[in-house]
Amino acid sequence: MKKTIRFVLAAFVFFASVFSVSAQVRRPVTIKLASLVPENTPWGVGLNRLAGEWAAATNGEVKLQVYHGGIAGNEDDVLRKLRMNQIQAAVLSTVGLNLITNEVMTLSSPFLIRNNAELEEVLNKIRPDLEQRLNSEGFHTMAWSRAGWIKVFSKTPVFVPADLKRLKLGSPAEQPELAQVFKLMGYQMVSIHVNDILVAFNNGTIESIYNSPVMIGGLQIFGIAKNMASINIAPIMGGILMNQTAWRAIPAPYRPKLEELTRKLEKEMDGSIMRLENEAVTTMTKYGLVINTLSPEQEQLWYQDIGKAVPSLFGSAINRNLYERIETILKDFRGKQR
């Protein structure tokens, strides 16, 4: 009888210990991340490396699976899937982020932020509040992306607003908010999809376009739109978001390290994109692109032009409170630079 009792107790201890060990073994958390950027770009390479770093930092407990090149759909599709947890994270541009809150679009208001130093200053001041706003919509902001500057490319030289207002101005169909801003300023706007830009230039549907030098270079548009105005229209912003459901599924001890690794990628990508943009402009000038360098007086005409339109921009396109806050930050910053 005593032997039977000892056997039962031993068996109980054995199975209890096995259960305890197995309970501590976590199933890997898989984070599916969607990106519109092709895999063979600095962003694509960086995201693949990040996947390996996440796996190493979590002993394989968190796996980052990247869907490059728009495989998961456009930004509307991606955002819908992100909310439904069909994917768990995404690299979103200003367009996608603006679908969550128009405060992000305010960062890309034409001629508000004028160079990299100003952008850095503004982001340092408003980043915590922007992240809190995005996070309140059910997301967790992992990193931001500065993807260069929007420039004007045209068939004929553009130095002042009147030059551009005479031309039919192509606007990316994916950015209706920015097009609305230009329309309110008196420009002849033509919505155009990326794949149709070259055809539109050739048949006269458009005579100018605003976009990033990297995009224009990649599409070979500079062969017909041979002029680029030197003035920066607006910064191109983006970010890496994860939905809150996925963020909470990651074991808490790993979260700070994963954020650290992602923000390290952010800094690396900022530098890579700036180099890529400079290389694109250098290459295009070798093949005939002319940079129309504006004088300070000509630049001031653009700033005055947007200044007249600002009151009519507040609401659906631009967040008034954030716009005025950024203006205050920049006024103080520019005063210190003089």
**Tens-place pLDDT, residues 70-111:** 888 888 889 999 999 999 999 988 878 888 887 888 888 889
160 in Cβ contact with 296 (< 8 Å): no
79 in Cβ contact with 73 (< 8 Å): no
The single-letter DSSP state of residue 318 is B
Rounded Cα distance between 177 and 158, Å, is 23
Q: Where is 323: in which H helix or E strand?
A: helix 320-337
Among 295, 155, 174, which Cα is nearest to 222's?
A: 155
Residues contacting 115, CB < 8 A, separation 6+:
232
Among 241, 201, 264, which Cα is nearest to 46's?
A: 264
Q: What are the tokens at 31?
A: 């984070």
Q: What is the third-level CATH fold of 27-313? A: D-Maltodextrin-Binding Protein; domain 2 (3.40.190)
Residue 168 has pLDDT above 60, yes or no: yes
9 in Cβ contact with 18 (< 8 Å): no
Residue 143 has a CB neighbour count (10 Å cut-off) of 19
For the chain, domain boundaries = 27-313
Rounded Cα distance between 254 and 306, Å, is 46
What are the tens digits of pLDDT across the range 108-131? 888 999 999 999 999 999 989 888
What are the tens digits of pLDDT across the range 220-266? 888 899 999 999 999 988 889 999 999 999 999 999 999 999 999 88
What are the tens digits of pLDDT across the range 19-39? 343 334 467 899 999 988 888
Predicted structure pTM score: 0.81
Residue 327 has pLDDT above 60, yes or no: yes
Judged by average pLDDT, the poorest of 2-16, 40-54, 136-150, 248-262 is 2-16
Top pLDDT among 18 and 6 is at 6
What are the tens digits of pLDDT across the range 179-223? 777 888 889 999 888 778 889 999 999 999 998 898 888 888 888
Q: What are the tokens at 254?
A: 């790993």
pLDDT value for 12 = 44
Rounded Cα distance between 220 and 223, Å, is 6
Among 269, 37, 19, 285, which Cα is nearest to 148's?
A: 269
